[in-house]
Amino acid sequence: MAKLQTRYICRACGHESPKWMGRCPECEAWDTFIEEVFAKEKPGASQSAAVRSLRSGDSADGSTIPIPITSVEMMDMERISCGIGELDRVLGGGLVAGGVVLVGGDPGIGKSTLLTQAAACLANPSGNIDGPAPPARTVLYFSGEESARQIRLRSARLNAESPDFLISVETEIGAMLHHLANIRPALAIVDSIQTVSDSSLDSAPGSVGQVRACAHHLAKFAKAFGIPIVLIGHVTKDGNIAGPRVLEHVVDTVLYFEGDRHHAYRLLRAVKNRFGSSDELGIFEMSGAGLIGVENPSAALLSERSEGGNGSAVVSIMEGSRALLVEVQALAARSTLASPRRTVTGMDPNRVSMLLAVLEKRLGMRLAEQDVYVNVAGGIRITEPASDLAALAAVASNFREQAVHPQTVVLGEVGLAGEVRAVSQVEKRLREAARQGFTRAIISRHNAAQLPGDIGIEIIVVSNVSEAINAALQPGQTRQ
């Protein structure tokens, strides 16, 4: 009979300790330790056969002996396309054999829908890909959340039915590994990792220890058999997958599904990727027939813009390798409060406070008596300072009740002295603006010097916020 023991696990980083601690020595978070009861096993005592066989294969290839890096065999990373362009892009070109991907997101955001569509593209390529279809591949979908009937209903709705699309409602890790080893699918999907349990552990399914142990077994299996596995994970109230961030260490790629459930656009963002860039973004629209990749996201994001209205400026931001045009909106209204309201959505509020101080001090705008609201349209979150000047222009535009020229894109980081600084990859940003029909760009002197000859957009060079606002709100000095 296995002996029951207690251990404490940090909810934030997964650090284990035999005793409870107020502060985690690893991530220094306070009050994050939770108790977990588990059965201490004699090695291999009640592990399922499949788990055991994986364990014994650990160092079969002798890879633990140190060898010169030059003798390490180069792995040919063949990519398996999911048949969904935006998903392939975020993955860095497709799935990788043996790669484990974690897809996280709020309930109802579309995780099961996306993976069902990916499964369909692999299992039934002729029904989902235009042109000559690759051969059908077997996909094994473990569903611990929904019944096989519910999955069938969704598949029928998504036109995703195929005899090569296998469903299992198994949630015990040993049995799951057994099925995987027997079937050897081209792709396995686990929906969700929180429902999987290891019967050799005493803690409840969904607990930190269970989720981590099961993900670990699946990752080991993926590596040993060269099968890509996608784990679907729920995001808890505090924004972590499975409570702690423990799963992020176990997997190769972490993708987060973001966006408002009540809004049509869904953003799929890579936050970790051992096989590609970790800042790629995929944009989807939820429709009656599932998720559809948005081909021209800039146009989609600007489609609801009211041209000519004040309090709006467009900036070209970089999301991974591509430029995206987004609209920054601002509203300044006289406040009746002792300390006026500052409400910011989609940008860093501290950055906006700094920009308001620059407007007040350098341009003499009396914003201290105004409530100021700043919003990035379309549910996008901007993290780069390249959007400073656009936010500043939007506020100034609304405050002065003068519209920004509708075909103008505003690019620049703003410094405390009111200077306009350069942004990265300016040419790429401007080419996207020109492609979307923008005719004027306000940029810093340094950025202008980096540009090759004509790139199809009129360049207005500014060195400080005063010049920038004058140029944005009325025709300014142009570079020849």
- Contact of 409 with 433, CB cutoff 8 Å: yes
Interacting residue with ligand TYD among 57, 85, 107, 437 (CB under 6 A)? 107
Smallest distance from ligand TYD to CB 469, Å: 43
Which residue, 73, 151, 154, 79, is CA-closest to 122? Answer: 79
Q: State both tokens at 182.
A: 């027997």
- Contact of 361 with 318, CB cutoff 8 Å: no
CB closer to ligand TYD, 116 vs 444: 116
**How many residues form the binding site for Mg ion (CB under 5 A)?**
1
Pairing between β-strand 253-258 and β-strand 265-273 as defined by DSSP bridges: antiparallel
108 binds ligand TYD (CB under 6 A): yes
**How many residues form the binding site for ligand TYD (CB under 6 A)?**
15
In the list ligand TYD, Mg ion, none, the entry touching 290 (Cβ below 5 to 8 angstroms by class) is ligand TYD
Rounded-to-integer distance, Cα 472 and Cα 405, Å? 6
154 binds ligand TYD (CB under 6 A): yes
Q: What SS3 state is found at 235?
A: strand
How many CB atoms lie under 10 A from the CB of residue 255?
Answer: 24
CB closer to ligand TYD, 235 vs 441: 235
In the list Mg ion, ligand TYD, none, the entry touching 152 (Cβ below 5 to 8 angstroms by class) is none
In the list Mg ion, ligand TYD, none, the entry touching 108 (Cβ below 5 to 8 angstroms by class) is ligand TYD
155 binds Mg ion (CB under 5 A): no
Rounded-to-integer distance, Cα 174 and Cα 162, Å? 26
How many CB atoms lie under 10 A from the CB of residue 78?
Answer: 10
Rounded-to-integer distance, Cα 415 and Cα 444, Å? 12
Q: Read off the amino acid at residue 340.
A: P
- Contact of 386 with 411, CB cutoff 8 Å: yes
286 binds ligand TYD (CB under 6 A): yes
Smallest distance from ligand TYD to CB 31, Å: 30
CB closer to Mg ion, 144 vs 209: 144
Q: What SS3 state is found at 120?
A: helix
- Contact of 275 with 77, CB cutoff 8 Å: yes
- Contact of 442 with 411, CB cutoff 8 Å: yes
In the list ligand TYD, Mg ion, none, the entry touching 473 (Cβ below 5 to 8 angstroms by class) is none
CB closer to ligand TYD, 205 vs 406: 205
In the list Mg ion, ligand TYD, none, the entry touching 113 (Cβ below 5 to 8 angstroms by class) is ligand TYD
CB closer to ligand TYD, 81 vs 192: 192
Smallest distance from ligand TYD to CB 261, Å: 7
According to DSSP, residue 448 is labeled H
Rounded-to-integer distance, Cα 432 and Cα 149, Å? 45
Kindly give, in sequence order, each residue whose CB lies less than 8 Å from that of residue 289, ignoring residues fewer than 6 positions away: 157, 158, 159
269 binds ligand TYD (CB under 6 A): no
109 binds ligand TYD (CB under 6 A): yes
CB closer to ligand TYD, 83 vs 110: 110
- Max CA separation in the chain (angstroms): 84
- Contact of 149 with 194, CB cutoff 8 Å: no
Rounded-to-integer distance, Cα 143 and Cα 166, Å? 11
Smallest distance from ligand TYD to CB 84, Å: 14
**Span interacting with Mg ion, options 7-15, 31-39, 108-116, 326-334, rule CB under 5 A:** 108-116
CB closer to ligand TYD, 108 vs 456: 108
160 binds ligand TYD (CB under 6 A): no
Rounded-to-integer distance, Cα 472 and Cα 475, Å? 7
113 binds Mg ion (CB under 5 A): no
Smallest distance from ligand TYD to CB 236, Å: 14
**Which x/- pattern over 112-131 shows residues binding ligand TYD (rule: CB under 6 A)?**
xx------------------
In the list ligand TYD, Mg ion, none, the entry touching 68 (Cβ below 5 to 8 angstroms by class) is none
In the list ligand TYD, Mg ion, none, the entry touching 105 (Cβ below 5 to 8 angstroms by class) is ligand TYD
In the list Mg ion, ligand TYD, none, the entry touching 443 (Cβ below 5 to 8 angstroms by class) is none
Interacting residue with ligand TYD among 125, 276, 290, 378 (CB under 6 A)? 290
- Cα torsion through 114, 119, 125, 127, rounded to 10: -60
Smallest distance from ligand TYD to CB 145, Å: 7
Rounded-to-integer distance, Cα 360 and Cα 5, Å? 62
Rounded-to-integer distance, Cα 469 and Cα 362, Å? 11
112 binds Mg ion (CB under 5 A): yes
Contact positions toward Mg ion, by CB under 5 A?
112
Contact positions toward ligand TYD, by CB under 6 A?
105, 107-113, 154, 157-158, 286, 288-290
